[in-house]
Amino acid sequence: MRTTTIRLSDETLSRVDTMADRLNRSRSWVINQAVDSYLSHEEWLVKEIHDGLTDLKQNDLATDDDIRRHLIKWGIDAD
Protein backbone atom coordinates (compact mmCIF):
# COMPACT_ATOMS: atom_id res chain seq x y z
CA MET A 1 0.00 0.00 0.00
CA ARG A 2 1.23 3.51 -0.81
CA THR A 3 0.85 6.71 1.14
CA THR A 4 -0.71 9.89 -0.23
CA THR A 5 -1.79 13.17 1.28
CA ILE A 6 -5.17 14.81 0.82
CA ARG A 7 -6.78 17.93 2.22
CA LEU A 8 -10.21 17.54 3.81
CA SER A 9 -12.45 20.15 5.33
CA ASP A 10 -12.78 20.08 9.09
CA GLU A 11 -16.39 18.94 8.69
CA THR A 12 -15.48 16.05 6.39
CA LEU A 13 -12.64 14.90 8.60
CA SER A 14 -14.95 15.03 11.60
CA ARG A 15 -17.43 12.83 9.73
CA VAL A 16 -14.63 10.39 8.85
CA ASP A 17 -13.50 10.25 12.47
CA THR A 18 -17.07 9.74 13.72
CA MET A 19 -17.56 6.86 11.29
CA ALA A 20 -14.21 5.35 12.24
CA ASP A 21 -15.16 5.49 15.93
CA ARG A 22 -18.59 3.97 15.33
CA LEU A 23 -17.14 1.15 13.23
CA ASN A 24 -14.11 0.67 15.47
CA ARG A 25 -11.90 1.15 12.41
CA SER A 26 -9.05 3.46 11.53
CA ARG A 27 -9.43 6.78 9.75
CA SER A 28 -7.41 5.31 6.89
CA TRP A 29 -9.78 2.33 6.58
CA VAL A 30 -12.84 4.60 6.37
CA ILE A 31 -11.22 6.84 3.76
CA ASN A 32 -10.17 3.80 1.67
CA GLN A 33 -13.71 2.41 1.84
CA ALA A 34 -15.15 5.77 0.80
CA VAL A 35 -12.76 6.12 -2.14
CA ASP A 36 -13.39 2.53 -3.27
CA SER A 37 -17.16 3.06 -3.09
CA TYR A 38 -16.95 6.34 -4.99
CA LEU A 39 -14.74 4.84 -7.71
CA SER A 40 -16.98 1.79 -8.12
CA HIS A 41 -20.01 4.00 -8.63
CA GLU A 42 -18.26 6.41 -10.99
CA GLU A 43 -16.71 3.59 -13.04
CA TRP A 44 -20.19 2.04 -13.42
CA LEU A 45 -21.70 5.40 -14.39
CA VAL A 46 -19.01 6.20 -16.96
CA LYS A 47 -19.40 2.73 -18.50
CA GLU A 48 -23.18 3.12 -18.74
CA ILE A 49 -22.82 6.53 -20.37
CA HIS A 50 -20.19 5.19 -22.79
CA ASP A 51 -22.39 2.20 -23.67
CA GLY A 52 -25.39 4.49 -24.21
CA LEU A 53 -23.41 6.77 -26.49
CA THR A 54 -22.20 3.73 -28.45
CA ASP A 55 -25.83 2.57 -28.83
CA LEU A 56 -26.78 6.06 -29.98
CA LYS A 57 -24.02 6.14 -32.60
CA GLN A 58 -25.15 2.72 -33.85
CA ASN A 59 -28.80 3.88 -33.81
CA ASP A 60 -29.57 0.98 -31.45
CA LEU A 61 -32.30 2.73 -29.50
CA ALA A 62 -35.57 1.63 -27.94
CA THR A 63 -38.65 2.34 -30.00
CA ASP A 64 -41.81 3.92 -28.63
CA ASP A 65 -43.42 0.46 -28.69
CA ASP A 66 -40.49 -1.04 -26.72
CA ILE A 67 -40.88 1.59 -24.03
CA ARG A 68 -44.67 1.24 -23.96
CA ARG A 69 -44.38 -2.56 -23.48
CA HIS A 70 -41.99 -2.11 -20.55
CA LEU A 71 -44.18 0.49 -18.89
CA ILE A 72 -47.25 -1.71 -19.23
CA LYS A 73 -45.28 -4.66 -17.81
CA TRP A 74 -44.50 -2.50 -14.76
CA GLY A 75 -48.17 -1.55 -14.41
CA ILE A 76 -47.75 2.01 -15.66
CA ASP A 77 -50.30 3.54 -18.00
CA ALA A 78 -48.24 4.17 -21.12
CA ASP A 79 -50.72 6.55 -22.71
| pLDDT of 79 above 80 | no
Position 34 in a domain: yes
pTM exceeding the 0.95 threshold for the entire prediction: no
Position 5 in a domain: no
For the chain, the domain total comes to 1
CA distance 41 to 28: 20
Position 68 in a domain: yes
Write the CB contacts of 72 (distance below 8 Å, at least 6 apart in sequence): 78
Q: Which domain holds residue 34?
A: 10-73
Position 4 in a domain: no
pLDDT digits (tens, 9 = 90+) for 26-64: 999 999 999 999 999 999 999 999 999 999 999 999 999
Position 41 in a domain: yes
